[in-house]
């Protein structure tokens, strides 16, 4: 299989569409959610458990893997898909996000209005050449250039790879944002050149939209991307300081990007975000939330479960299974959920596993949350087809 993207349904009322992203490791029906296997492993779930939970595609982080075990080792072990035993479609980022977010504070911090006061500063300097940084593992010095990022991602061997860009902090002014965007454009061209020099048809390259919260910059960036032979685009950079502003920035970014290429929304994947994103034509999402939440005892649930619990979700999307109220509860998280966890375990048992610090608690909740997200995206795809996104949303989120 080679790499291609086919849109087989385009909504007449919005930019929402259904697509098929074909990769050498299999097919992804879009819109799709991409789960984070940061260090080449989903925390708490095996590749088989991910497949059983309906997963189509996972991503790994170039930053972490270039430092440990090193991209050459991944290549010697056959590349990410063979090494992990996942074997299905995979995505890698450029490595830049972690470097810059450890320097600036990441997108999630921005949207939550948090600073990065307590983060150690590991990004040392951005120059025309690239970004110099210290390893989070041992403090060793490294340089990530656009060429190096592509070389590392070639070793890692994911199907979908991205250009190196500068992730601008959200508190910078328009001048900084524009200069940064221009740098990201030059880096994108260098990434593309490095990619094309070794392109053998097994990987596809994403260009990244920058330009912060400024419509004219996002338009300028879109013009640049549309005119280069990228396989796909990603919406990145500063998405604003609130959820509402993020949706505005996504909307303005998508307005200018050509619509025949797949579009990924970097690092965003809350339930509301997905319903908002697909309307603007976003095809894939990624977010650590479902798997991170599992490690903290949280199970994603739908409004019908809040009703069963006779509880007001107050804007929350998950059940906290650490709570002692679940100690003797013989019901599954959601009796309607087909996942292995809901088919075999009660809330009371999962509560016990959490209290007893058993690893199985993480596995059980990870399987449920992954299954939940995959069911959500299936429902979203069905709702796009039947033009019922608004009513479908009420099955997944209260408010």
CA 291, 279, 28, 111 dihedral sign is negative
Q: Nearest to residue 270, comparing CAs of 253, 254, 292, 248?
A: 292
- Name the residue nearer to a second copy (CB basis): 303 or 348: 348
Show the tokens assigned to 339: 């996942």
Please report whether residue 69 would count as binding a second copy according to CB under 8 A.
yes
Please report whether residue 134 would count as binding a second copy according to CB under 8 A.
no
Q: How far apart are CB 235 and a second copy at their closest, in Å?
A: 29
Neighbours of 195 (CB within 10 A): 24
CA distances from 344 to 150, 336, 364 (A): 43, 12, 10
- Please tell me the distance from the alpha carbon of residue 186 to that of residue 177, in angstroms, as a whole number: 14
Q: How far apart are CB 356 and a second copy at their closest, in Å?
A: 4
Q: Which H/E stretch holds residue 26?
A: strand 26-30
Query: Cβ(100)–Cβ(166) under 8 Å?
Result: yes
Q: Which of 6, 8, 9, 77 binds a second copy (CB under 8 A)?
A: 77
- Name the residue nearer to a second copy (CB basis): 33 or 349: 349
Q: Which H/E stretch holds residue 8?
A: strand 4-10
CA 276, 373, 258, 236 dihedral sign is positive
- Name the residue nearer to a second copy (CB basis): 39 or 132: 39
Q: Has 199 been annotated as catalytic?
A: no
3-state secondary structure of 391: helix
For the segment 37-66, give every residue that binds a second copy (CB under 8 A). Answer: 39-49, 64
Q: How far apart are CB 39 and a second copy at their closest, in Å?
A: 4
For the segment 347-386, give every residue that binds a second copy (CB under 8 A). Answer: 348-349, 351-353, 355-356, 358-360, 362-364
Please report whether residue 330 would count as binding a second copy according to CB under 8 A.
yes
Query: Catalytic: which of 93, 165, 273, 283?
Result: 93
Q: Has 286 been annotated as catalytic?
A: yes
- Name the residue nearer to a second copy (CB basis): 37 or 213: 37
How is 352-368 classified by DSSP, letter by letter? HHHHTT-HHHHHHHHHH
Q: How far apart are CB 331 and a second copy at their closest, in Å?
A: 10
Please report whether residue 345 would count as binding a second copy according to CB under 8 A.
yes
Query: Catalytic: which of 273, 283, 286, 334?
Result: 286
Q: How far apart are CB 49 and a second copy at their closest, in Å?
A: 8
Largest CA distance in the chain: 61
For the segment 282-311, give every residue that binds a second copy (CB under 8 A). Answer: none
Please report whether residue 28 would count as binding a second copy according to CB under 8 A.
no
Show the tokens assigned to 129: 């050449």
For the segment 2-21, give every residue that binds a second copy (CB under 8 A). Answer: none
Please report whether residue 339 would count as binding a second copy according to CB under 8 A.
no
Can you name the residues that pair with 58 across neighbouring β-strands? 35, 90
Give the pairing of strands 263-265 and 232-235. Answer: parallel
- Name the residue nearer to a second copy (CB basis): 75 or 126: 75
Please, is 391 exposed, middle or buried when counting C-beta atoms within 10 Å of its C-beta (0-12, 13-18, 19+)? exposed
Residues classed as catalytic = 93, 286
What is the contact surface with a second copy in residues (CB under 8 A)? 39-49, 64, 68-69, 73, 76-78, 83-85, 327-328, 330, 340, 344-346, 348-349, 351-353, 355-356, 358-360, 362-364
């Amino acid at each position: 299989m080679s790499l291609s993207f086919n849109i087989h349904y385009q909504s007449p009322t919005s930019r929402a569409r259904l697509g098929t992203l074909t990769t050498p490791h299999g097919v992804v029906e879009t819109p799709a959610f991409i789960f984070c296997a940061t260090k080449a492993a989903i925390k708490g779930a095996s590749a088989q458990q991910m497949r059983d939970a309906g997963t189509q595609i996972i991503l790994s982080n170039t930053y972490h893997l270039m430092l440990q075990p090193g991209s050459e080792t991944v290549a010697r072990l056959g590349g990410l898909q063979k090494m992990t035993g996942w074997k299905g479609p995979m995505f890698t980022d450029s490595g830049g996000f972690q470097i810059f977010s450890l320097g600036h504070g990441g997108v999630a911090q921005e949207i939550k209005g948090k600073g990065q006061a307590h983060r150690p500063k590991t990004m040392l300097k951005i120059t025309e050449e690239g970004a110099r940084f210290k390893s989070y593992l041992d403090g060793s010095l490294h340089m990530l250039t656009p060429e190096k990022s592509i070389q590392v991602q070639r070793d890692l061997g994911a199907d979908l790879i991205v250009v190196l860009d500068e992730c601008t902090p959200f508190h910078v002014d328009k001048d900084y944002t524009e200069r940064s965007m221009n740098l990201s454009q030059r880096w994108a061209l260098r990434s593309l050149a490095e990619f094309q020099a070794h392109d053998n048809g097994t990987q596809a390259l994403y260009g990244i939209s920058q330009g912060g919260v400024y419509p004219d910059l996002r338009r300028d960036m879109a013009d640049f991307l549309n005119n280069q032979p990228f396989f796909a685009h990603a919406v990145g950079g500063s998405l604003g300081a609130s959820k509402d502003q993020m949706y505005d920035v996504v909307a303005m970014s998508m307005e200018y990007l050509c619509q025949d290429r797949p579009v990924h929304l970097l690092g965003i994947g809350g339930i509301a975000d997905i319903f908002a994103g697909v309307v603007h034509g976003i095809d894939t999402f990624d977010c650590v939330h479902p798997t991170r939440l599992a490690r903290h005892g949280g199970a994603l649930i739908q409004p019908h479960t809040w009703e069963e619990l006779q509880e007001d979700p107050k804007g929350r999307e998950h059940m906290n299974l650490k709570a002692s109220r679940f100690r003797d509860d013989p019901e599954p998280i959601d009796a309607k959920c087909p996942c292995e966890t809901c088919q075999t375990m009660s809330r009371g048992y999962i509560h016990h596993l959490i209290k007893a610090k058993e690893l199985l608690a993480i596995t059980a909740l990870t399987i449920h949350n992954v299954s939940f997200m995959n069911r959500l995206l299936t429902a979203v795809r069905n709702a796009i087809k039947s033009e019922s996104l608004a009513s479908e949303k009420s099955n997944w989120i209260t408010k």
